[in-house]
């Protein structure tokens, strides 16, 4: 079964509104979560790294005020797309990790969320 749950799977929102996407680790405490964005037929682009209890680290070119990331607990990280516009329409997917060097290949992905802004 899934160890990382992402919700909602599909969301349609009006331009100018905000939408929140949740990423939950179900069977373990995720010290680090990663948020990715993917356009059709393209690669996964890392947006930010979220560590529990601290501010997210954003990749270059990603607007911090546009994509708000909160990692309030060891099992939940949220991505809020603020004042969404049609160009924000994309596939957003999270992944969760137990740690860094010691966890090796232990990275679990959520199911992803399709966002459409109309």
Q: Kindly list the residues in this chain that would bind another protein in the complex (CB under 8 A).
A: 32, 34, 36, 38, 41-46, 49, 57, 91, 93, 95, 97, 99-101, 103-105, 107, 109, 111-112, 114
- Report the residue number, 14 or 100, with the smaller CB distance to another protein: 100
Measured between its terminal Cα atoms, the distance across the chain in Å is 33
23 within 8 A of 110, measured Cβ to Cβ: yes
CB of 38 to another protein, least distance (A): 8
- Report the residue number, 1 or 100, with the smaller CB distance to another protein: 100
CB of 52 to another protein, least distance (A): 14
- Report the residue number, 81 or 108, with the smaller CB distance to another protein: 108
Helix, strand, coil percentages, rounded to 5, for the chain: 5, 50, 45
Closest CA to 111 of 31, 21, 16, 51: 21
3-class SS of residue 79: strand
DSSP conformation class of 30? -
CB of 16 to another protein, least distance (A): 26
- Report the residue number, 37 or 78, with the smaller CB distance to another protein: 37
Contacts of 51 (CB under 8 A, 6+ apart): 31, 32, 57, 71
CB of 62 to another protein, least distance (A): 13
């Amino acid at each position: 079964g899934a160890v990382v749950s992402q919700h909602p799977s599909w969301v349609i929102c009006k331009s100018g509104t905000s939408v929140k996407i949740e990423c939950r680790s179900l069977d373990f405490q995720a010290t680090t979560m990663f948020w990715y964005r993917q356009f059709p037929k393209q690669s996964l682009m890392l947006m930010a790294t979220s560590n529990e209890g601290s501010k997210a680290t954003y990749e270059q070119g990603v607007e911090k005020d546009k994509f708000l990331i909160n990692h309030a607990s060891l099992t939940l990280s949220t991505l809020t797309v603020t004042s969404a516009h049609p160009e924000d329409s994309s596939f957003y997917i999270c992944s969760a990790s137990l740690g860094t060097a010691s966890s090796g290949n232990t990275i679990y992905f959520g199911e992803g969320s399709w966002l459409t802004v109309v």
